[in-house]
Amino acid sequence: MATVGLLVSLTACASARSSSAPAMAALNGASCPAADWSPAPPMRADSLSDYQRSVEVRQRNDWANLARYRDANAALGAPKPGETRVVFMGNSITDAWAKSFPAMFPGKSYVGRGISGQTTPQMLVRFRQDVIALQPKAVVILAGINDIAGNTGPSTQAMIADNLMSMTEIAKANGIRVVLSSVLPAYDFPWRPGIGPAPKVVALNAWIKCYAAQAGAVYLDYYSRMADARGGLSAQMASDGVHPTEAGYRIMAPLAEAAIQEALGRP
């Protein structure tokens, strides 16, 4: 009888797992549009600039650059009573923007945690230190463009998606609202010309938008307001075609603020 009971229990569990499979597939983004693009080729050692070589040396000792914000995080401390802290996680676009937060988001407790050149796996490694430990109410994640560029090696859309899903799940597990940003338009990369990122950005953004809806995150659409006819950024928006000028950030700021307020207002 014990054997029969065990078989019944196992059958019931298998049935429950089977019935929940579609829901789990939705939550992990499996039903969202996937693009099977060819990743950027590995960088050759003889093609690296002096700056890229310096980054490569640093990454051998601190791959995710955990040292960058370690002291700043300790000095920041826990949020004060009534403080609505929001962390912006990202790459150089977020890094350069953070110094303008006081002017563009006056009175807001918005914390920049961008690092130039970083890819989604690097952000995932430092996500606990630079986001979770700061106890924000929400996190704004802008990531993926450097993965397309192959900054830390060839990267497919599925690899980027895995890291974005992991950051989202970690944040939600800690009671943090999530804003997933579209990747900004890019027609070409000054440091890796000829890769043709524009269609990859469009494909990745379609996946991010779909996954955000399934995961209960807010999708922050910078792309639609900033893309030119080529699928890139105009010289007014970004002098090098990738990194926003002040005019570009002025367009981004109200979009980010609206997305944050939407996330904070959700039950």
* Structure token digits, residue 180: 């997933």
Whether the per-residue pLDDT at 49 is higher than 50: the answer is yes
Alpha helices, DSSP H, located in 36-184: 50-61, 70-76, 92-98, 101-104, 120-130, 145-149, 157-173
Task: Give residue 134's pLDDT.
Answer: 98
pLDDT for residue 37: 76
Using pLDDT thresholds of 50, 70 and 90, give the confidence band for residue 18. Answer: very low
**Residue pLDDT, tens place only, 79-112:** 999 999 999 999 999 999 999 999 999 999 999 9
The fold adopted by the segment(s) 83-267 is: Rossmann fold (3.40.50)
Question: In degrees rounded to 5, what are phi and psi of residue 219?
Answer: -90, 125
Q: Which pLDDT tens digit goes with each residue over 111-166? A: 999 999 999 999 999 999 999 999 999 999 999 999 999 999 999 999 999 999 99
What's the helix, strand, coil split of the chain in %, to 5? 50, 10, 40
Average pLDDT rounded to a whole number, residues 179-184: 98
Give how far the C-alpha of residue 172 lies from the chain's centroid of Cα atoms, to the nearest Å: 14
> Are the CB atoms for 155 and 13 separated by under 8 Å?
no
pLDDT for 35 equals 78
Provide φ and ψ at 218, rounded to 5°.
-95, 130
d(CA 156, CA 40) in angstroms, rounded, equals: 9
Residues 186-201: tens digit of each pLDDT = 999 888 888 889 999 9
Residue 36, pLDDT score: 78
pLDDT of 3 above 50 = no
The reported pLDDT for the residue numbered 241 is 85
Q: Tell me, what's the pLDDT at 47?
A: 65
Percent of the chain with pLDDT over 90: 73
Contact predicate 140/220, CB 8 Å: yes
Average pLDDT over the chain reads 88
